Amino acid sequence: MFIPKRIIFEKDSLEYDAAKEILDRFGGNNNIEIVKLTSNKMKQYIPGSDLSSQYREGKKTLVVGVKRGLVFQTCKPSAHYQLPLISGCMGQCEYCYLNTMLGDKPFVKAYVNTDDIFNQAEKYINERLPEKTVFEGSATSDPVPVEPYTHSLQKAITFFGKSEKGKFRFVTKYNDVDSLLKLNHNGHTEIRFSINTPYVIDKYEHYTASVDKRTEASIKVSEAGYPTGYLIAPVFIYNNWREDYHVLLQDLSNKLKEGPKAPVSFEIISHRYTTTAKNRILKVFPESTLPMNDENRKYKYGQFGYGKYVYPKEALDEINEFFDKEIKELFIDSEIKYII
């Protein structure tokens, strides 16, 4: 669970019960600074003398706000739309693309006008009838660490559980899922877990749950009947990478065999980076050992109009062949959605 160093309540947010509950929970804690804004000037309350310190102070900050614009962003290929309940993440993963998207002070933000958000989601669902409409809850966030006091996922899962044509999905690197296990989801919410080798997690995924805790949580949600998936990302090629990823998949397979028999899905994404991301990462994490040598990569233009440095074709073919073979052998009823 994310315990912030400071909580900033945006103007008008305390008119909502969800904001009042957060204030009631943390307002008596002398170790947490409470700021109630009367204007829109917020970032002055997040300290930091340089990019690195601003980043870390931002990561310790929770902003409670009201979602004003209700035009949802598209979210291809994983879903039709983003569901804007939470933005930001307490994790400090060195490779995360959000490093380039959430500004100098990447705070966690929870929106408290969830009824407005779900009403807008209903409009999008009705516009696409009779087709199903899928919403992604973690396009710019990991909503699980704040769930114990925002209850945003609980509300979303219950909403989509009653929807005939609306589907919901999100991914997490955390394990605080117990409050979700007894909800009436009706199989309309897919919960995915981002997993990786202990080498990658220890080296690059700071302030996240261990792979063992993530897989244990995934067993719980699968036993609760949720469609369950695994996102292995980013995949790094390093000494003994094949052995490490084999152990990761073998251990997961063994745990799943002991638990539910429902099929699971996999999404595999190799490591890639942009020049902008690289420059920012090295300012925030000056001692980073992320493999970002441009000469060892291939430059590839993406669908959003900018290029990324990806592994060369030979390496990508190795990754594809390895994971395709391993997953098909270890997870008989699984679905591989993509390996890229």
- Asked if the model's pLDDT at residue 46 lies above 70, the reply is yes
- Asked if the model's pLDDT at residue 101 lies above 90, the reply is no
Predicted confidence at residue 154, as pLDDT, reads 98
Torsion 303-307-308-313 (CA) sign: positive
Lowest mean pLDDT among 210-214, 257-261, 270-274: 257-261
Residue 131 CB partners (closer than 8 Å, separation 6+): 165
- Asked if the model's pLDDT at residue 76 lies above 70, the reply is yes
Predicted confidence at residue 263, as pLDDT, reads 76
Residue 168 CB partners (closer than 8 Å, separation 6+): 83, 134, 135, 137, 156, 157, 159, 160, 188, 189, 190
The 8-class DSSP code of residue 72 comes to P
Predicted confidence at residue 41, as pLDDT, reads 83
Model confidence over 194-232: pLDDT tens digits? 999 999 999 999 999 999 999 999 999 999 999 999 999
The length of the chain, given as a count of residues: 340
| Residue 79 token pair | 């879903």
Global confidence as pTM: 0.93
- If pLDDT is split at 50, 70 and 90, which confidence band does 257 have? confident
Model confidence over 1-44: pLDDT tens digits? 999 999 999 999 999 999 999 999 999 999 999 999 988 788 88
- If pLDDT is split at 50, 70 and 90, which confidence band does 103 have? low
Percent over 70 (pLDDT), the chain: 96
Distance CA 195, CA 199 (A): 11
Residue whose structure tokens are 């002398």: 30
Mean pLDDT of all residues in the chain?
Answer: 94
Predicted confidence at residue 299, as pLDDT, reads 94
Percent over 90 (pLDDT), the chain: 86
φ, ψ dihedrals at 62, nearest 5°:
-110, 125
Model confidence over 291-320: pLDDT tens digits? 999 999 999 986 656 789 999 999 999 999
Amino acid (one-letter) located at 116: D
- Asked if the model's pLDDT at residue 150 lies above 70, the reply is yes
- If pLDDT is split at 50, 70 and 90, which confidence band does 267 have? very high
- Asked if the model's pLDDT at residue 97 lies above 80, the reply is no
Predicted confidence at residue 98, as pLDDT, reads 74
- If pLDDT is split at 50, 70 and 90, which confidence band does 327 have? very high
- If pLDDT is split at 50, 70 and 90, which confidence band does 144 have? very high
- Asked if the model's pLDDT at residue 250 lies above 80, the reply is yes
Is 1-190 a domain of CATH 1.10.260.40? no
Predicted confidence at residue 19, as pLDDT, reads 98
- Asked if the model's pLDDT at residue 182 lies above 80, the reply is yes
Domain boundaries, the chain: 1-190
Residue 15 CB partners (closer than 8 Å, separation 6+): none
